[in-house]
A and B are shown apart, each in its own frame.
Chain A
Amino acid sequence: MFRKAQYQAILEETIRNTLKAKCVGIAGAGGLGSNCAVALARIGIGKLIIADFDVVSVGNLNRQYYFLDQVGMYKVDALKENIRRIDPAVLVEVHNIRLDPDAMVRIFVACDVLVEAFDLAEMKQMIAETAAIHFPGKPLVMGLGMAGWGNSNDMRVTYQENLIICGDGISEISNDMPPLAPRVGICANMQANETINYLLIE
């Protein structure tokens, strides 16, 4: 038993030391971005670069990693504070900005992995196109299809060149299909899981 515990401690230390040297960019700090960032922070990622323009609203609290007393704060400021409370050693660089292709290239150029965490399809298209042109060798971990509830087994990962796509690929947000914490959380944590899988293998 002692040996097993010792092995586990060494493994965890190795994982932590590897991730400590890595930087992950997160484009969007909503349901996907806030939960993905927190998962990465908990396991000791070295640096997060997070960009979003929005403020926390009451409606966000059904899935996003914010608290009632943070309503009205800029999401990037609230998320930075929440990560600091989990692990102050994680460096968090925030950009309170509505991302366009130029800003995306400038802000995320140094990241080892880029996580797409937008809500709108138009923005997802923009980051996929921008990454294809400017970051052909950088993994882009996307979230596609996580609305509604149930169908947990439909959540999957597909790999296409530099794209790592998490989600069921079909469940779009609509009046009948709201984004809810459990399934958005599955997707966000799949994105975090794929991110560290790449970083630990690389």
Chain B
Amino acid sequence: MNITLNNNLESFDEARMTVLDLLRIKNFTFKMLVVKINGNLVRKEDYDSTFISDSDHVTVLHLISGG
């Protein structure tokens, strides 16, 4: 499937994948994340049950301390 991930078009071999799959495939191991699919927030407890569909716009924001 093809999705827009953080403003970039990306292709994946998977026909179906959850948010957790995406994080594993991309090796996003960060502790503090905010994930949105088409603008809708996906909570951490829903990462393994929320599926990403072809042409979705996915935002994975990696939060780090400082300010």
Residues of chain A at the chain B interface (Cβ within 8 Å): 28, 30-33, 117-122, 124-125, 128-129, 132-133, 136, 143-147, 158-163, 165, 167, 169-173, 179, 184, 187
Contact = CB atoms under 8 A, between A and B. Distances in A.
A124 B32 CA distance: 9
A102 B61 CA distance: 22
Contacts of A136: 39
A83 B36 CA distance: 36
B59 A160 contact: yes
16 contacts: A31-B67, A33-B67, A121-B64, A128-B61, A128-B63, A132-B39, A132-B41, A143-B67, A145-B64, A158-B7, A161-B59, A163-B59, A171-B64, A171-B66, A172-B64, A184-B67
Given A124-B32, A136-B39, A118 B61 contact: no
Interface in B2-28: 6-7
B28 to A, nearest CB: 13
A117 B6 CA distance: 22
What DSSP secondary structure best describes chain B's contact surface?
loop
Contacts of A170: 64
Contact of A165 (B40, B43, B61): B61
A122 B32 contact: yes
B6 A160 contact: yes
Contacts of A124: 32, 63-65
Interface string B38-67: 011101000000000000010101111111
B67 A28 contact: yes
A133 B41 CA distance: 7
Scoring B7, B32, B40, B65 by chain A CB atoms within 10 A of each residue's CB, the highest score goes to: B65
A173 B43 CA distance: 26
Contacts of A118: 67
Contacts of B67: 28, 30-33, 117-119, 143, 146, 179, 184, 187
B34 A125 contact: yes
A147 to B, nearest CB: 5
A145 B66 contact: yes
B55 to A, nearest CB: 16
A17 B67 CA distance: 30
Nearest to A130: B41
A30 B66 CA distance: 10
Scoring B31, B64, B65, B66 by chain A CB atoms within 10 A of each residue's CB, the highest score goes to: B66
